[in-house]
Each structure stands twice: as structure tokens, then as C-alpha cells.
């Protein structure tokens, strides 16, 4: 069974601060996706990382996939109140493995950015 | 482009009744996945389907739960004889063919099931 440990579980910061959310696993993933979920809604895909060591930027958000494709991080620069929400990482298992196709989710990070 | 559609958005059932949750994937997507989000828990995989085929149902309870994705029409997640523990948000996701070698899943808004 693949597991993704996401940390921290809660993050409360002031507007303008930087933050990093981590997802770690002992398993190798073929890809890793980051989602943001608002209360009462479904997760919205932010980015997919596929290659070990890959870095992707989305405005003030920077996503990194570990070299061994077992871990990932999300870094937000100069956080704004509009960044408040639940952030989820999700990994897809390797081809040929029993987890191929389905996503394994981390527990989520609830981010609150205070004005 | 319409996203993944789910209905109903909210469903209330009494213990012992049946619940039917529907999911229409994004246009052009042939893969459908169902996930469950229990209160205070993360999203858990239930089942992965392609048209007329169940690919992986390893996350679905063996009893009372079934899923289908017919040639025509939406995917259906069916829960028979619901119990209070079935109360949760059920999310459907869809993805296109794996032309890129990986699997980007797009989620619907979910169905919130409440069992009284």
C-alpha cells in the first residue's frame, strides 16, 4: 500500500510570508499532482509533476518533484489571503504496480493567510 | 468546456435505502474514478472504470457498493442498504487516454451523502 505523508497539517501565517508544504513517501510515483480544495467543492488540479527533479512554477507557487520521485514540495511566496484553502498532494503508482491509475492522497494542509 | 458533472450535489437517505450517484466525465475523457472523503479524513480511492469495464475496484467495500460506466450515459456509483457510516462526500474524477504517459485527473464538485 502506498502512503503519502503531508505536512504540516495546519498552517496559519500572515499575508506576505512564505511557506512550504511537503509530501513524502517511501514509494516511487509515476507522477504527482497538487490540488486545492475549497469547502463544499471538489479538488481543483494545480499542477502535475512527472520527471524526477522537475520544478514547475505557477505565479507565486513553485512545485518540485524529488529526484527519486518519492517526495514533493509546494512553496508559496508572499502569501495572500486568497491563497487560503486546503492543499492536497496525490501520487499515481508506477506502471505495472497495483496502484497504477489511481491516486493516493496526502492528508492535506489547511492554509490560512491572515490579512 | 464543461467540467466533470456530478448529481445530485446533496443526497439524503434513511438507513436501508439505496443511493445512486451519477458522474458525467469531461468531454473526451474515457477513464472515470470514484473517491470517498469521510469527515475529518482524506480522499480515498474506491474504483477505476473505463467504458463497460471495471479496471480496479480494490478500494470499494465488497458488499453493498457497486459501480458501472456503461457505453452510453453517466457512470453510476450505487450503494445499497445505506448505513450511517456511508455518510461522506463522494467525488468522481475523469482523465483522458494516457497519451502523455501519465494520468491527470479532474474532479467533479462531489455528492454529499447524508444517511439519517
Q: How many CB atoms lie within 10 A of CB B108?
A: 25
Question: What's the confidence (pLDDT) of residue A9?
Answer: 94
Chain B interface includes A43 (CB < 8 A): yes
**Mean pLDDT for chain B overall:** 92
A54 touches chain B (CB under 8 A): no
* Candidates B4, B42, B109; nearest CB to A105: B42
Q: Is A98 on the interface with B (CB under 8 A)?
A: yes
The mean per-residue pLDDT over the stretch B13-17 comes to 97
Please indicate if any CB of chain B lies within 8 Å of the CB of A104: yes
| Contact yes or no for B107 and A42 at CB 8 A | yes
pLDDT in tens, A52-85: 999 999 999 999 999 999 999 999 999 999 999 9
What's the rounded Cα separation, in Å, for the pair A111 and A25? 21
pLDDT tens-digit map of A9-46: 999 999 999 999 999 998 888 889 999 999 999 999 99
Confidence band (pLDDT; 50, 70, 90) for B77?
Answer: very high
Q: For the purposes of burial, counting CB atoms within 10 Å of the CB of A68, is it exposed (0-12), middle (13-18) or buried (19 or more)? A: exposed
Does the distance separating the beta carbons of A30 and B43 come in below 8 Å? no
Cα separation, B75 vs B60, whole angstroms: 15
Residue A14 vs residues A27, A81, A101, A110: alpha-carbon distances, Å: 34, 8, 38, 14
Q: Whole-angstrom Cα distance, residue A71 to residue B10?
A: 35
Structure confidence at residue A18 (pLDDT): 97
Q: Which residue has the cell 520521485?
A: A69
Of B21, B26, B5, B3, the residue nearest B88 (C-alpha): B21
Q: Which residues contact A48 (CB under 8 A, 6 or more apart)?
A: A31, A32, A33, B102, B104
Q: How far apart are CA B75 and CA B50, in angstroms?
A: 9
A9 touches chain B (CB under 8 A): no
The pLDDT-based confidence of B108 (bands split at 50, 70, 90) is: very high
Who contacts B62 (Cβ-Cβ below 8 Å, separation ≥6)?
A: none
Amino acid at each position: 500500500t502506498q502512503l503519502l505523508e503531508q505536512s504540516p497539517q495546519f498552517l496559519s501565517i500572515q499575508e506576505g510570508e512564505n511557506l512550504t508544504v511537503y509530501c513524502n513517501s517511501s514509494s516511487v510515483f509515476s507522477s504527482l499532482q497538487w490540488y486545492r480544495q475549497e469547502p463544499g467543492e471538489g479538488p481543483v488540479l494545480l499542477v502535475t509533476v512527472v520527471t524526477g527533479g522537475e520544478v514547475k512554477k505557477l505565479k507565486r507557487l513553485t512545485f518540485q518533484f524529488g529526484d527519486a520521485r518519492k517526495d514533493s514540495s509546494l512553496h508559496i511566496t508572499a502569501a495572500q489571503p486568497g491563497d487560503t484553502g486546503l492543499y492536497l498532494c496525490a501520487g499515481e503508482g508506477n506502471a505495472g504496480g497495483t496502484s497504477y491509475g489511481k491516486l493516493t492522497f496526502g492528508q492535506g494542509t489547511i492554509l490560512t493567510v491572515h490579512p | 468546456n464543461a467540467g466533470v458533472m456530478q448529481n445530485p450535489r446533496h443526497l439524503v437517505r434513511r438507513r436501508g435505502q439505496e443511493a445512486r450517484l451519477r458522474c458525467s466525465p469531461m468531454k473526451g475523457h474515457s477513464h472515470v474514478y470514484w473517491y470517498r472523503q469521510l469527515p475529518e479524513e482524506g480522499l480515498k480511492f474506491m474504483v477505476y472504470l473505463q467504458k463497460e469495464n471495471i479496471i480496479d475496484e480494490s478500494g470499494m467495500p465488497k458488499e453493498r457498493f457497486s459501480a458501472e460506466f456503461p457505453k452510453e450515459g453517466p457512470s453510476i456509483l450505487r450503494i445499497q442498504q445505506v448505513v450511517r457510516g456511508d455518510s461522506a462526500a463522494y467525488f468522481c474524477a475523469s482523465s483522458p487516454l494516457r497519451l502523455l504517459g501519465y494520468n491527470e485527473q479532474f474532479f467533479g464538485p462531489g455528492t454529499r451523502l447524508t444517511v439519517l
